[in-house]
């Protein structure tokens, strides 16, 4: 949660010097001090710090290299708070100005080169919108044309006329609360009190966006995909909309990292990421720390998208005008077939030339090949009917001739049109 991290960065951080790496007991003492001074809950901070000092005094960390110690402490502390992390890198003997200079390839450059987290935006079959987010980039609402907000607006505009939306957070480890609030505001009314408020020793901050999304879709079916990789700000987005009864969460429980913070740089190359705030949701009066976000429909992450796609189609078909419904109905039929149907053991009976189209066997399935065009891979619906994987609303039906062999290919389209081709040659 970068914006909050920026706001609270540097609190109680000691001035850096190019000192040698301290021995383990001293390093643990300095890390314990940093926890005691910065962790949002003073009571927990004091208990953890005291325990670390006692463990160090008992020799638990003696003999470990700096890198080993950082790993050991991270493993030890993550049981207290999922955001705790200790890192070490060799201290650089550079000037203070050089140490304070921003990296050439920093967060802003990374955001820009990664599409501000929007890895994929597309329309799935049956007119279901799909947004895959790898991270939540920060938004400065005081700046017009802020690039991450413009990117979010473009993504939301692309799916604006879809019948439902799937937001994929399975590979999203977190980011900034400003984007969390802005995207959430695209699906709830501006007056709803759903946004988490972060509480710390010295400040509070809300995820409510300074400028909400214009024209939210209040009734559009919304599905959010999560996994054990989903963390921090990504969990906040899922948790917020689940608590508001505005989204169905599909996948497996998320990482359980609720409390944002920032890094404290320590002498000798160590740094500690410590949580300085904790979120409280106005609807649940709690958060997802350690527990994670619990899915409404628990499935393996690899199956989450297909599950959500079927669920979305089943939800929206009754709401679609009758004249347009065939597209979604065929998409649902194809999506279900891909999950449950088992193609015939032998495909050889379908293989042959049907007018300009040649049907060939490819692995365990079929492809339709026409000259100067890419091959079309076919999925099996049932009986002697197939569909193009890339165009699930189209149907390929094979009809048998009087001799019992397949003698005709009928290709039917969602608009009611069709083409028929007699079989002109066999393999």
Quick: pLDDT tens for 376-399: 999 999 999 999 999 999 999 999
If you average pLDDT over residues 356-366, what whole number do you get?
Answer: 93
If you average pLDDT over residues 75-94, what whole number do you get?
Answer: 89
If you average pLDDT over residues 17-41, what whole number do you get?
Answer: 91
Q: Pull the structure tokens for residue 255.
A: 């990482």
User: 3-class SS at 353?
Assistant: strand
Task: Please tell me the predicted confidence (pLDDT) of residue 363.
Answer: 87
Is the Cβ–Cβ distance between 131 and 118 less than 8 Å? Answer: yes
Q: Which residues touch 46 (CB under 8 Å, ≥6 apart)?
A: 36
| Domains of the chain listed by start with CATH number | 2-100 (no CATH), 112-259+277-317 (3.90.226.10), 348-425 (2.40.128.50)
User: 3-class SS at 143?
Assistant: coil
Q: Tell me the C-alpha distance between 275 and 137, whole Å.
A: 19
Pick the closest to residue 427 from 310, 349, 317, 314 (CA basis).
Answer: 349
Q: Which residues touch 98 (CB under 8 Å, ≥6 apart)?
A: 92
Residues 132-187: tens digit of each pLDDT: 999 999 999 999 999 999 999 999 999 999 999 999 999 999 999 999 999 999 99
Helix axes 42-57, 24-38, angle to 10 degrees: 170
User: 3-class SS at 166?
Assistant: strand
Q: Which residues of 271-291 are buried (b: 16+ CB within 10 A; e: fewer)?
A: bbbbbbbbbebbbeeebbbee
């Amino acid at each position: 949660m970068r914006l909050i991290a920026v706001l609270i960065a540097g609190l109680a951080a000691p001035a850096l010097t190019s000192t040698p790496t301290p021995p383990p007991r001293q390093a643990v003492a300095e890390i314990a001090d940093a926890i005691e001074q910065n962790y949002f809950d003073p009571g927990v901070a004091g208990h953890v710090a005291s325990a670390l000092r006692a463990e160090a005094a008992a020799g638990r960390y003696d003999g470990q290299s700096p890198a080993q110690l950082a790993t050991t402490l991270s493993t030890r502390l993550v049981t207290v708070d999922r955001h705790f992390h200790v890192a070490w890198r060799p201290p650089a003997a550079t000037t203070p100005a050089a140490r304070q200079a921003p990296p050439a390839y920093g967060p802003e450059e990374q955001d820009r080169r990664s599409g501000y987290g929007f890895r994929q935006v597309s329309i799935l079959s049956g007119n279901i919108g799909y947004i895959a987010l790898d991270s939540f980039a920060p938004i400065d609402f005081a700046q017009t044309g802020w690039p991450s907000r413009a990117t979010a607006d473009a993504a939301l505009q692309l799916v604006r006329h879809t019948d439902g939306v799937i937001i994929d957070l399975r590979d999203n480890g977190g980011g900034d609360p400003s984007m969390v609030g802005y995207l959430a505001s695209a699906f709830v009314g501006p007056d709803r009190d759903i946004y988490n408020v972060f509480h710390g020793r010295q400040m509070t901050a809300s995820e409510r966006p300074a400028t909400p999304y214009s024209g939210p879709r209040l009734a559009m079916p919304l599905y959010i995909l999560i996994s054990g990789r989903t963390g921090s700000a990504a969990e906040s987005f899922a948790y917020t909309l689940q608590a508001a009864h505005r989204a169905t969460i599909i996948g497996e429980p998320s990482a359980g990292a609720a409390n944002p913070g920032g890094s404290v740089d320590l002498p000798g190359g160590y740094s500690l990421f410590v949580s300085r705030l904790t979120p409280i949701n106005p609807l649940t009066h709690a958060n997802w720390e350690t527990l994670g976000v619990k899915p409404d429909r628990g499935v393996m992450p690899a199956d989450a998208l297909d599950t959500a796609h079927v669920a979305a189609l089943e939800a929206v078909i009754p709401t679609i005008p009758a004249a347009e419904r065939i597209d979604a109905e065929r998409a649902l039929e194809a999506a279900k077939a891909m999950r449950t149907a088992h193609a015939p053991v032998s495909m050889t009976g379908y293989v042959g030339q049907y007018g300009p189209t040649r049907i060939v066997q490819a692995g365990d399935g079929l492809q339709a090949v026409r000259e100067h065009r890419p091959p079309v891979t076919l999925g099996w619906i049932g009986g002697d009917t197939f569909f193009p994987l890339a165009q699930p609303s189209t149907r390929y039906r094979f009809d048998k001739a009087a001799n019992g062999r397949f003698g005709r290919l009928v290709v039917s389209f969602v608009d009611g049109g069709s083409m028929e081709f007699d079989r002109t040659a066999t393999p």
